[in-house]
Every structure is written in structure tokens, then in C-alpha cells.
Amino acid sequence: MAMTDVLPAGVALVALAMLAAMVFWTSQRQAVWQAGEVRVSEAEARVATLETALSSLTQMQRATATALAYAGSPAAAVDRSLGLVLAAEREPTDKRLRTLNETFAPPALVVVRPEVEHLLSGGLHLGEQSAYVLDVVTTAYPSPDQAQVRTRERWTYDERTQDNERARCLVETSDQTYTLQRAGPEWRVVDIEVSVASRTNCQGA
């Protein structure tokens, strides 16, 4: 075989080998690139998940802080106190009446007790349809240990006899100002001023 015949064949083999090497190198680069893309996508997904979790945690912490702040506020103390009044008027037991005496200072009891005394004197109690809607208008702090809460309220008095028959049903709307004094970590209602009040019969009563 002549040398001139060997050279072209050798060149062809070298070229073929180089081509195969380039194809292999290119496929490896493609595989590495694709693997990198997968890792990037997975990392981005993990970051997005962590960001979502962190956002949810932050919102939960803010909501908890807001709830805790409200629970210790004068407005919440007024709401809890009115809840005790409603409970006593629904079921005027000695224990619940004593709770009112402990919750409200004497000047505030002067405003609270007449409705309770009316029910007791007539052998009445409030039915389950009785309720109140409380809107807090403003909260002011004349001093660090004193607060004034202005409210608009709508009370439904569904008065019932001992046999649970309706005696009468009234809806009362009023604007009131509660003065509260700090008693340790809690607030106590020490006075109540009713500025506007009106009563109408319940619909269908």
C-alpha cells in the first residue's frame, strides 16, 4: 500500500475521532447545563416556599400581636363587661350579680343595675335572642392609668317570663362614654355616661 493511500485514511480517522470527541464534549456540556438548570429551578422553588412560609409566619405574628393588644385594651374591657351584664340579665343568679358588683365600680353600677332590677322585680330574664352590638368610636387616655371609651350601642332586650314566654321586646340604641381605671394589668369600668338613648319595639313584637 502506498504512503499516499495511508495518509488520507489516517486523516479521516483523526477527523472522525475529533468529531466524536466534540459530539461527546457537547453532549456532556448540555447534560451539565441541564443539570444546573434543574438545580437552579429547585433552589428557586425552595426560596419561593421559604418566602411564602416566612410571609405567613409574619402575618400570623402580626395578627397575634394585634389580638393581644386588643385583649388588654380599654375597649376590650368594656366589651367583656357588657358581656357579663348580658349574661346576668339572661340568667340573674347570685353569682352573676356578684360578678357585676366586682366588675363595675359603684358609680357605673348606678347605670347598669336599673335594667337588672327591672328584670328581677318582674320575675323576668332576657331570652336567647337578646344581644348587643358594640361600636367603639374613640378611645382616649386622660392619664396613663385612666381611659375613656366612647361607644355606639344597639341592644335587643327580649324579656321572658319564668315560663319562657315573651313579656316584651325592645331595641335600645345609645351613645355612651365609659371611664375606666387601670387595676393592675386590667381595666375596670368606674363610670358610665349615657348621652343619647332611644327605645323602640322589636319588629313583629
Cα gap 126→156, rounded to integer Å: 9
Q: What is the pTM of this model?
A: 0.67
Confidence of residue 148 (pLDDT cuts 50, 70, 90): very high
Q: Where are the beta strands (DSSP E) in 7-126?
A: 125-126
Average pLDDT rounded to a whole number, residues 104-118: 96
The residue among 50, 71, 92 that closes a domain is: 71
Average pLDDT rounded to a whole number, residues 184-200: 94
Structural domain containing residue 43: 1-71
My answer on whether 94 and 151 are in the same domain is yes
Neighbours of 80 (CB within 10 A): 14
My answer on whether 152 and 180 are in the same domain is yes
162 DSSP assignment: T
Q: What are the two backbone dihedrals, phi and then psi, of residue 182, each rounded to the nearest 5 degrees?
A: -70, 130
CATH of the domain at 187: 3.10.450.50
Instruction: Tell which wins on pLDDT, 193 or 54.
Output: 193
My answer on whether 58 and 78 are in the same domain is no
Q: Where are the beta strands (DSSP E) in the chain?
A: 125-126, 131-143, 146-160, 166-183, 186-201
Residue range 13-72, pLDDT digits in tens: 766 767 776 767 777 777 777 777 777 777 777 767 766 665 655 555 554 444 445 569
Three-state SS for 163? coil
My answer on whether 113 and 169 are in the same domain is yes
My answer on whether 18 and 115 are in the same domain is no
The region that residue 32 occupies, defined by phi over 0 for left and psi between -120 and 50 for alpha, beta otherwise, is alpha
The residue among 55, 71, 87 that closes a domain is: 71
User: How many domains does one find in the chain?
Assistant: 2
Cα gap 1→105, rounded to integer Å: 124
Instruction: Tell which wins on pLDDT, 59 or 190.
Output: 190
My answer on whether 90 and 187 are in the same domain is yes
My answer on whether 114 and 58 are in the same domain is no
My answer on whether 61 and 86 are in the same domain is no
My answer on whether 63 and 161 are in the same domain is no
The residue among 71, 86, 105 that closes a domain is: 71
pLDDT at 6: 53
Report CA 42 to chain centroid distance, whole Å.
Answer: 35
Report CA 3 to chain centroid distance, whole Å.
Answer: 93
My answer on whether 99 and 192 are in the same domain is yes
The proportion of the chain whose per-residue pLDDT surpasses 90, expressed as a percent, equals 61
My answer on whether 12 and 25 are in the same domain is yes
My answer on whether 85 and 178 are in the same domain is yes
